[in-house]
Amino acid sequence: MHVTRTLETHRLLLDLTEALELTGFASFCDSFHPGSGVEARVALIADRLDPELGATVDLLLLRGAVEPERLPGRVAEIAGRLDEIFVRDADGRLALDGLTLRHTMGLWLFLQPEHRRNAVYFGDDTIGLAARLRPRPQSACLDLCTGPGTQALLAGRAARMAVGVEVNPVAAAIANLNVAANGVSNTEIVLSDLAEFRTDQRFDFISANPPLLPVPPEIDYPFIGDGGEDGLRVTERILARAGELLAPEGVAEVIGVGLGVKGAPAFLDKLAAVGAEAGLFLNVFLLRRTEFAVGSGLFNGLILSSAGTDPAVQARHHIALEGFVDANAIDSAFTFAVHARRAGGSPGIRVLNLTETGFGGLWSV
């Protein structure tokens, strides 16, 4: 019974995205930069839309409760039957239950309304990793820390098959909705800690955008972003798994953030050691350097995104972060991308520092 219901939901989701395509909603979404802040930008222009598109945008992007008769007929009909995803209030108005739905980068994606404590993530770094995907025909791809499945779905489009691994059940459930909404049959979402993910498959391409922000333990940071004190806690585990799961000629692309002291990266020795332990050769691209001192954008951003607007928590986090930065003589942070392949007996690391060029690389903190 449950399976039947899920299959019916999947079929309806595909019908919904097909109906939305005809209304111009996908094209509307594609008119915005896909990174963070889409909802805020859409809200600014929502009153300029024609009534049907406006109602669709209200329902799918702006968390509105919408009278079904204001929606395009087919969209209203399908949404009305998708009662696992849309709710009806006492007045019969439809609303998305804690989700948004948008088209972006060629995918239909259910996400959560933008909030710092979300279980699912989509941001500028999502795009940074998406731009590094190189699935080849017939390849098997693995996306660790898949969140809503963005990279797994993108890789699956070109590859023979793709697997996304995600530890958070809410994120994994949303990723499964996204697999259905895109009508994909070669992409599977596995609910698992990446360290416990078991498979006999070896992968030609592995991608990962892990929780990557450097956060001292005194700060209760949202799970999706907390990379531990040096930002590398999950990255280390990903490289270790890449050492096991890559096919002989396979490649991994992992993005991250590392700390800098006196303006120089202070994390390359650690990456080299982790890579060597995993039997990998690493090409590291340092993309951007950003100031990480008291009052800098990164410093204030970490406090805001962990403490929210509560002044007492903000003050506590400020003290903890200042102590952390001072004690470790940190003054900067680097966004980086690692290209990893099997070392075949000669592990090593090669670093290209794009931060010295003045133009930097794709994606910054």
Ligand X SMILES: C[S@@+](CC[C@H](N)C(=O)[O-])C[C@H]1O[C@@H](n2cnc3c(N)ncnc32)[C@H](O)[C@@H]1O
Q: How far is the CB of 250 from ligand X (least distance, A)?
A: 19
Closer to ligand X by Cβ: residue 65 or 158: 158
Q: How far is the CB of 113 from ligand X (least distance, A)?
A: 16
Q: Counting Cβ atoms within 10 Å, is residue 326 exposed (0-12), middle (13-18) or buried (19+)?
A: exposed
Q: CB of 320 within 8 A of CB of 219? A: yes
Q: How far is the CB of 63 from ligand X (least distance, A)?
A: 21
Q: Does 285 bind ligand X (CB under 6 A)?
A: no
Q: CB of 113 within 8 A of CB of 163? A: no
**Cβ-Cβ contacts under 8 Å for 270 (sequence gap 6 or more):** 230, 232, 236
Which residues in 130-159 contact ligand X (CB under 6 A)? 145-147, 150-151
Instruction: Return the axis-axis angle of helices 297-307 and 311-327, rounded to nearest 10°.
Output: 140
Q: Is 72 left (phi over 0), alpha (psi -120 to 50) or beta?
A: beta
Q: Does 179 bind ligand X (CB under 6 A)?
A: no
How far apart CA 100 and CA 110 sit, in angstroms, is 6
Q: How far is the CB of 195 from ligand X (least distance, A)?
A: 6
Q: Does 121 bind ligand X (CB under 6 A)?
A: yes
Q: Provide the mask over 215-244, with x wherever binding to ligand X is found by CB under 6 A and - wherever it is not.
A: --------xx---------x----------
Pick from 57, 96, 163, 194 the residue near ligand X by CB under 6 A.
194
Which residues in 43-72 contact ligand X (CB under 6 A)? none
How far apart CA 193 and CA 204 sit, in angstroms, is 21
Q: Whose CA is closest to 239, among 201, 207, 217?
A: 207
Pick from 34, 210, 250, 347 the residue near ligand X by CB under 6 A.
210
Count interface residues toward ligand X (CB under 6 A). Answer: 22
| Interacting residues with ligand X (CB under 6 A) | 121-122, 126, 129, 145-147, 150-151, 165-168, 171, 193-194, 209-211, 223-224, 234
